[in-house]
Chain A
């Protein structure tokens, strides 16, 4: 019996887990670093424990502090979210050793999959196709291009594409340093790099009594810096035959390691339907909401029930419709995806029909880590929110999601919003040609250009000037009832200048009241 859950994470995933806990009558505990003192996840939990400092290594990666926090706040279970310590077998074991319930797979299953190197061998033995692993010290010219990956990695960290042997040593060093800092394990390996591929993954759910479900695939091919930004289910390239093959491979992978809980088996596929096992993520994925929308399942609730020993029904629910998720980032795609950051002045998405939950009928789901006034710094991943469109068809889901995003209120920083809208409306996307080369092929010049063209900017400037005049008029103490700009003789035009925002918007120009 779980009565109070500590979420060893931050931002939107902490809020996501809290929502399910509230629905199940389970108490919640947040942990927060100093950088997250004003984060909504802290305010939303029943109890919160401070983790002094801001660097991940001082805060969300400190297993000892997290377990002490669980004790201090009276939690009897720990949910790791994704990232940070979510795939760290020692942390899972430490949680269990402290007498707490670990909401995740058994430490042995994490360990078996946590090393990507070992996982590939295990999968090959189980008959799942894998890409050959290359020894970083023995990469030859004929192997190029290769991908350097962190064995303990995820989220694109510690990953490098290498096209010439001369680049290899520096790429290995950088990947090792990133991997050590993000995951506490510097091991890296190389594998052949597939230039144009499709990233497919299968959501599995397994109970402790031998039942393993495949909940279908997600396609997450649209990535930047090897990090996904658009994810959807079902994949436009997967037919029933391929779905059957992928699901069978994923279930075999889960059974091979006695997997329990929610997990994801990732594959790299070519357009011809050939595929290779990439890795297994032994945790909830960022993109789990699309699967929740089409299946109607609450995967966090399923994790909690499985952790409490409950059985899954014999067969999973049939999926309904199509769902697409986009990740809204505080970053500027036009400037090499540079993180922007700042303080969120206002945040709202129109037409949201559910938050952190499956909408009651097709609609827009929002999982946001920020609210009005939340500071967004450089300490962590600059994701602001996930917005999910769910509709009877893929086309409708894309259109509805694009409209919600285009109307979204995200004031205070440059974001990738306009790029996401242009992507969702692009003919190549709508035709399902969403391979990993999508952004390079279409070009950021087109995709990252602002939704507001020169006419809209001029109109906005006029509106800003007129609203400014209306504000001064409202606040005027003398003759406030006169219309703005009233003259008894014709007069020259009033002038109002405004500067279009951008990365330099916080430049601090002198301002007249």
Chain B
């Protein structure tokens, strides 16, 4: 199991906690240090260490598991190539002001996203050359879509 990712889905309802994929979980009491889960009528006391931090250790009845928390809301900017500009929100590309190969200055308008009936200019974060363009005018994009890649001045 080492290195494997475990997804947990749960939701609080008027009747208590609902855990995706199991129907035997009853009453749950959770504090940062201790979680008591009723399973099939028996209470299981779990000690948690480092909850809310990246490294969480959980101890049960004669076993323990070391976990590493994954981001709740993955930061798309962290997963794309350096110099990439990603869509900060879902929307439509209203206009594209540059072409591949253009030199841009910090603050140069690159394109315009339209979302919630408002136009949001996307500007160059620094001086450089437009290495690629991922979108065309009129296209719908999701949050996190790579719009353009700017190669900074002085890089190969």
Residues A470 and B59 in contact, CB atoms below 8 Å apart: no
Closest beta carbon of chain A to B1's beta carbon, Å:
5
CB neighbours of B19 from chain A (8 A): 462
- Looking at the assembled complex, report how far the CB atom of A488 sits from the nearest CB atom of chain B, in whole angstroms: 10
Among A454, A490, A502, point to the contact of B3 (Cβ < 8 A): A502
Give chain B interface residues in 64-94, CB to chain A under 8 Å: 64-75, 78-79
Q: Cβ of A467 and Cβ of B10 under 8 Å apart?
A: no
Contact yes or no, B62 A503, CB < 8 A: no
Contact between B48 and A512, CB atoms less than 8 A apart: no
Stretch of A12-20, A231-239, A405-413 on the interface side: A405-413
B49 touches A468 (CB 8 A): no
Is A497 a contact partner of B32 (Cβ separation < 8 A)?
Answer: no
Complex-state Cα separation, A268 to B64, whole angstroms? 37
B98: interface (CB < 8 Å): no
- Asked if residues B62 and A474 are in contact (CB atoms below 8 Å), the reply is no
B8 close to A496 (CB less than 8 A): yes
Contacting pair B51 A500 (CB below 8 A): no
Contact between A467 and B33, CB atoms less than 8 A apart: yes
Does A361 count as interface, using CB distance less than 8 angstroms?
Answer: no
Contacts of A208 in B (CB 8 A): none
Count residues of chain A with CB under 8 A from any CB of chain B.
58
Q: Mark B1-25, 1 if CB is under 8 A from A, else 0.
A: 1111111111111000111100001
Q: Give A410 to B25 CA distance when docked, in angstroms.
A: 28
Instruction: Report B-chain residues with C-beta under 8 Å of the C-beta of A409.
Output: 57, 59, 64
In the assembled complex, the Cα of A487 lies from the Cα of B12 at a distance in Å of 8
* CB of B70 to closest CB in A, whole Å: 4
Nearest CB of B to A459, in Å:
7
B52 contacts the other chain (Cβ, under 8 Å)? yes
A500 and B1 form a contact (CB under 8 A): yes
A114 to B92: give the CA distance in the assembly, Å.
81
Report A474-487 CB contacts with B as 1/0, cut-off 8 Å. Answer: 11000000011111
Q: With A493-B9, A498-B6, A499-B5 in contact, is A468–B31 under 8 Å at CB?
A: no
The residue in chain A whose Cβ has the minimal distance to the Cβ of B20 is A493
Within 8 A of B (CB), among A428-473: 450-452, 454, 456-472
| Pair B10/A493 contact, Cβ less than 8 Å | yes
Instruction: Kindly list chain A residues whose C-beta atoms are within 8 Å of the C-beta of B143.
Output: none
CB-CB under 8 A from A464, the residues of chain B are 8, 48, 51, 56, 58, 67, 69
A312 at interface, CB cutoff 8 A: no
Interface residues of B in 43-57 (CB under 8 A from A): 44, 46, 48-52, 54-57
Provide the bound-state CA to CA distance between A499 and B20, in Å.
18
CB atoms of B57 and A500 under 8 A apart: no
- Known contacts A411-B66, A469-B30: A458-B6 contact under CB 8 Å: yes
Decide if A495 touches B49 in the complex (CB within 8 Å).
no
Contacts of B74 in A (CB 8 A): 510, 512
B residues near A459, Cβ cutoff 8 Å:
37, 39, 44, 46, 60
B30 touches A466 (CB 8 A): yes
Cross-chain pairs A/B with CB under 8 angstroms, 29 sampled: A345-B49, A406-B62, A407-B62, A411-B66, A412-B55, A450-B63, A452-B60, A456-B60, A459-B37, A461-B7, A461-B58, A463-B30, A464-B51, A465-B10, A466-B17, A467-B34, A467-B48, A467-B52, A467-B56, A468-B56, A471-B32, A490-B13, A493-B18, A497-B7, A498-B56, A505-B66, A509-B68, A510-B74, A511-B71
Given contacts A490-B13, A491-B11, A499-B3, 20 further A-B contacts (CB under 8 A): A346-B49, A346-B57, A411-B49, A456-B60, A457-B1, A457-B6, A463-B58, A466-B17, A467-B51, A470-B35, A484-B12, A486-B12, A493-B10, A495-B9, A495-B72, A496-B8, A497-B6, A499-B70, A500-B3, A504-B3
- Which residues of A are in contact with B by a Cβ distance under 8 Å? 345-346, 403, 406-407, 409-412, 450-452, 454, 456-472, 474-475, 483-487, 490-505, 507, 509-512
